[in-house]
Structure 1
Amino acid sequence: MAASIPSIDYYFSTLSPFSYLAGQRLEEIAARHGAAITYKPFDIMTLFARTGGTPPKDRHPARQDYRLIEIERQSKRTGLPLNLKPAHWPTNAAPSSYAIIAAQKAGGGDPGALVHGTLRAIWAEDRDIAQDDVVKSLLESAGFDAALADSGLLTGAEIYARNLEDAVNAGVFGAPFYVTSDGAKFWGQDRLDDLDLHLAEQGA
Structure 2
Amino acid sequence: MMQIDYYFSTLSPFTYLAGLRLEEIAAKHGARISYRPMDVMALFARTGGTPVGERHPSRQAYRLQELARLSKKTGLPINVKPAFFPTNAAPSSYAVIAADQAQREGKADEGDLGALAHGLLRSCWYEEKDIAQDEVIGDCLEAAGFDRGLTLSGLLVGAENYARNTEQAVEAGVFGSPFYICEDGAAFWGQDRLEFLDAHLAGEL
Normalised by the length of structure 1, the TM-score is: 0.96
Q: Which residue of 2 aligns with 1:53?
A: 49
Structure-1 separation of matches of 2:66 and 2:177: 15
Identity of aligned residues (%): 68
Structure 1 residue 177 displacement after superposition? 0.3
1:91 and 2:87 aligned = yes
Structure-2 separation of matches of 1:83 and 1:64: 15
Q: Which residue of 2 aligns with 1:199?
A: 201
1:1-204 maps to which residues of 2 (within 5 A)? Answer: 5-107=1-103, 108=108, 109-201=111-203
**What are the superposed Cα offsets for residues 128-174 of structure 1, whole Å, 9 maximum, x if unpaired?**
00001111111000000011111110000000000000100000000
Structure 1 residue 35 displacement after superposition? 0.4
How many residue pairs align between the two structures? 199
The RMSD of aligned alpha carbons is 1.0
SS state of the match for residue 201, structure 1? coil
Structure-1 separation of matches of 2:89 and 2:22: 21
Structure-1 separation of matches of 2:121 and 2:200: 26
One-letter amino acid matched to 2:186: A
For structure 1, list consecutive stretches of 5 or more residues without a partner in the other structure: none
Moved over 2 A (4+): none
SS state of the match for residue 14, structure 1? coil
One-letter amino acid matched to 2:76: L
One-letter amino acid matched to 1:103: A
